[in-house]
Amino acid sequence: MSLDPRYAPLFEPLKIGPVTAPNRFAVAPYANGHSFLMPNGARGIRETRAEGGWGIVGMQLTEIDPTSDLSGLPYERLWDDDDVAVHARSVDAIQAHGALASIELAHTGLRSRGVGTGYPVMGPSSASTLRPEVPFMAKAMDREDIRRFRQSHRDAVLRARRAGYDIAYVYAAHDASLLWHFLSPAYNRRTDEYGGSFDNRLRLLREVLEDAQDAAAGEMAIAIRFAVHELTGPKAIRFDGEGRDVVEALAELPDLWDVNISGWQRDSGTSRYDAEGFQEAFTGFVKQVTNKPVLGVGRFTSPDTMVSQLRRGVLDIIGSARASIADPFLPNKIREGRVEDIRECIGCNVCVAVENAGVVVRCTQNPTVSEEWRRGWHPERVPVVTDRGQALVIGGGPAGLEAALTLARGGHRVTLAEAGAHFGGRVRHESRLRNLAAWGRVADYRLYQLGRMENVSLFTQSTMTAETVAELAADHVLVATGARWLRSGRGRTHRTAIDGFADAALTPDELFTGMALAPGLRVVIYDDDHDYLANALAADLAAQGLRVELVSPMPSIAAWMGYTLEQPRMLAELIDAGVGLHPNTVARAWTGNGPGQGPGKGLAVQRADTGAELPVIEGDILISVGLREPDLALSEALHAAGIAHRVIGDAEVPGPIQSAVFSGHRHARDLLGQEPEGGHFRRERPRLF
């Protein structure tokens, strides 16, 4: 197969200052959870993307010196010459595949920590740092501080050049850059030539760009990463105000404009709240203002949308973090006319969440990310076995689908048996909730691939028992029977059952299997899960005309969604939908007995902190979203019958869809002989001086 001519513009080279990108795909600088302490893993991630056809591969936010300390957060450092050699290894690996290597040099100003190095956090004016819960202040930079910062940034550009980078970024985005803080009237209250008027506030950014161009000396391109519009924080920079003024004032100074919106939670909008290409409304003007190439992001996964951005003069380069995490080979697949093979990002932000939790990047769609170096997992290749054994995978949810696909790619003859009428398991159900349709891609991608393979047999409406498993006499049996939501009220904070729940509560599983609730009913959802499902159900039911109360024993509703960056928007969605919110509220008992039960019936509750009694939350229907219990009935029957098998996915341990996919993949790789001995994958080891 070959490139569809419609997508040819995506493969036109583009000159960026003194360098030339081979195509229009760029891995935008993104946090990948691999700090400067994990350079091998980080290199593995980048090398794989370069191999997959991305024309520019970016290095994530990189501290330029100790005053820009982000201790404890997994970012890069290019503080001194010692770091140059480490960076050069990544650069070489990227360039070996014909891609350009870029680095996002940054001083994070008011977002720095200081506490790790003992140097003061620095900003344009004396102010608190941008983490209100952390008791540190920033020093107002004096002229000497400004001079030193400029010198330091310039030195970092020189080091980037020595490391071999093709493009160095000047970073002014995400409310996380000293240069942005100088620009913003919300932070900059100076009265000298660096404060006050727009030109004065812009001065430092202009000077640093000029310094960078001077240091690059025509051998390296200089990019600016600039957020043209703020949707969070002070909201002082707007695309129809000073955001545009900045682009106009600096239009031809950088070699490349990489533009987005601020803060990070809006830049990395999820599919639940933002459509593909959502940033165009804000960044669309930039190309009209500058003659330099423009790069932008927007969770692009469709080549039609990408090419439309190019044709309509919105962007010159399609930037991507998540699409490149989910499918490192996306560009090559388009180039080879294999668009249907793209493993599309579902926009769930699990990648963001785990990185926020300080863990290496994980992905719901791509189990191989972060495993490129340490486990040697390639996103497109698995070891191929010669014995071509028969594998029986039972359960067609994300774990079963992923295991079946990986084993089939490894050469096994695979039978996938699913009890229900459709494949997809929990993904099929959850993706039907309001605004979660993109999650269906987890099943769609795998089913499509499996459907094309001759060594795969797919069966629905095939409930397997120990007897039918024995009859098939497969060489390998994988049980992916999933997990079921508990009715009893047991959850992440309630270790025991709650009175009245076992008799009355509905579970998400019951709602998913077709139980319809009449509009007008009052529904109480008790969320002791603290992830997306309870609030997604609340939003869905409210949209269907039910009156919904969402109750959480934690002080903050859906705490994990703070990590996915969705919590503020989810709360706004529920408030707008009229959902009653009850954080910090513990269920004592369900006292209702069904629809039409009259006043005073519902969920008896108390305050989580003091234990004080609260008014009953009236309702007709109770939905309990607490713990899930592995469905091990088949596994137990197989044990009893002496049939060897392995349990995978949510049946092994209930978790996010990402961990079910990962489990299916890991077990399959193990069967293909690619799990390290004793589970000990390669480790990064700090050097001893």
In the complex, which residues of this chain contact ligand ADP (CB under 6 A)?
Answer: 394-400, 417-420, 425-426, 463-464, 480-483, 631, 634, 649-651, 660
In angstroms, what is the C-alpha Rg of the chain?
27
Q: For tokens 């720095």, what's the residue? A: 112
* Residue selected from 59, 215, 351, 542 as contacting ligand SF4 according to rule CB under 6 A: 351
Nearer to ligand SF4, 123 or 347 (CB): 347
- Token pair, residue 567, equals 């919590």
Among 93, 326, 403, 557, binds ligand SF4 (CB under 6 A): 326
Q: How many residues bind ligand SF4 (CB under 6 A)?
A: 13
> Minimum distance from CB of 658 to ligand ADP (Å)?
10
Residue found under tokens 């009859």? 471
Residue 363 in the binding site for ligand SF4 (CB under 6 A): yes
Q: Is 364 in the site for ligand SF4 (CB under 6 A)?
A: yes
- 564 touches ligand SF4 by CB under 6 A: no
Assess contact for 48 and 370: CB atoms under 8 A. no
Pick from 158, 350, 436, 579 the residue near ligand SF4 by CB under 6 A: 350
Nearer to ligand ADP, 88 or 653 (CB): 653
Shortest separation between residue 425's beta carbon and ligand ADP, angstroms:
2
Tell the smallest beta-carbon distance from residue 641 to ligand ADP (Å): 13
Q: Which lies closer to ligand ADP via its Cβ, residue 306 or residue 401? A: 401
Our finding on whether 345 is near ligand SF4 (CB under 6 A) is yes
Question: Can you tell me which of 246, 348, 586, 671 binds ligand SF4, judged by CB under 6 A?
Answer: 348
* Partner in contact with 269, chosen from ligand ADP, ligand SF4, none, beta carbon below 5 to 8 Å by kind: none
SS3 66: helix
For residue 395, the partner it binds in ligand SF4, ligand ADP, none, with Cβ less than 5 to 8 A by kind, is ligand ADP
Amino acid at 359: V
Between 370 and 488, CB nearer to ligand SF4: 370
Please give the Cα distance from 235 to 361 (Å, whole number). Answer: 29
Q: Burial code of 432-463, b = ≥16 C-beta within 10 A, e = fewer?
A: ebbbbebbbbbbbbbbebbeeeebbebeeeee
Minimum CB distance to ligand SF4, residue 348 (Å): 4
- Report 283-322 residues binding ligand SF4 (CB under 6 A): 322
Q: Which stretch binds ligand SF4 (CB under 6 A): 39-47, 357-365, 491-499, 616-624?
A: 357-365
Q: Which two tokens stand for residue 71?
A: 């201790």
Please state, in angstroms and rounded to a whole number, the distance separating the CA atoms of residues 219 and 231.
36
The residues with which 313 forms a beta bridge, in sequence order, are: none
Alpha-carbon distance of 580 to 603, in angstroms, equals 13
| Identified binder of ligand SF4 from the candidate list 110, 156, 325, 399, rule CB under 6 A | 325
Classify residue 332 as exposed, middle or buried by CB count within 10 Å of its CB (0-12, 13-18, 19+). Answer: middle
Among 33, 153, 66, 54, CA closest to 104? 153
CB 527 within 8 A of CB 558: yes
What is the 8-class DSSP label of residue 673? T
Give φ, ψ of 196 to 5 degrees: 90, -105
651 binds, among ligand ADP, ligand SF4, none (CB under 5 to 8 A by kind): ligand ADP
Taking CB within 5 to 8 Å according to partner kind, which of ligand ADP, ligand SF4, none is near residue 110?
none
Taking CB under 6 A as the binding criterion, the range among 111-119, 349-357, 622-630, 631-639 that sits at the site for ligand SF4 is 349-357
Q: Which is nearer to ligand ADP, 151 or 513 (CB)?
A: 513
As given in the structure block, the two tokens for residue 323 are 């699409």
Q: How many helices (H) and strands (E) does the chain have?
A: 24, 28
Assess contact for 259 and 287: CB atoms under 8 A. Answer: no
- With CB under 6 A as the contact rule, the residue among 365, 431, 435, 481 that binds ligand SF4 is 365
If contact means CB under 5 to 8 A according to the sort of partner, which of ligand ADP, ligand SF4, none does residue 56 touch?
A: none
CB 26 within 8 Å of CB 37: no
Report the run of H or E that residue 213 belongs to, with start and end: helix 198-216
> Site for ligand SF4 (CB under 6 A): which residue of 74, 263, 347, 489?
347
**C-beta closer to ligand SF4: residue 208 or 345:** 345
Closest contact distance (angstroms) between CB of 362 and ligand SF4 is 7
Q: Which of ligand SF4, ligand ADP, none lies near 425, with the C-beta cut-off 5 to 8 A by kind?
A: ligand ADP
Residues 6+ apart with CB under 8 A from 325: 30, 32, 345, 351, 361, 363, 366, 369
Q: For residue 233, what are the CA distances in angstroms to 98, 113, 237, 261, 296?
A: 39, 19, 10, 12, 21
Counting contacts by CB under 6 A, is residue 94 touching ligand SF4? no
Please calculate the CA angle 361-427-491 and round it to the nearest 5 degrees: 80
325 binds, among ligand SF4, ligand ADP, none (CB under 5 to 8 A by kind): ligand SF4
In terms of CB distance, is 591 or 659 closer to ligand SF4?
A: 659
Which residues lie near ligand SF4 (CB under 6 A)? 322, 325-326, 345-351, 363-365
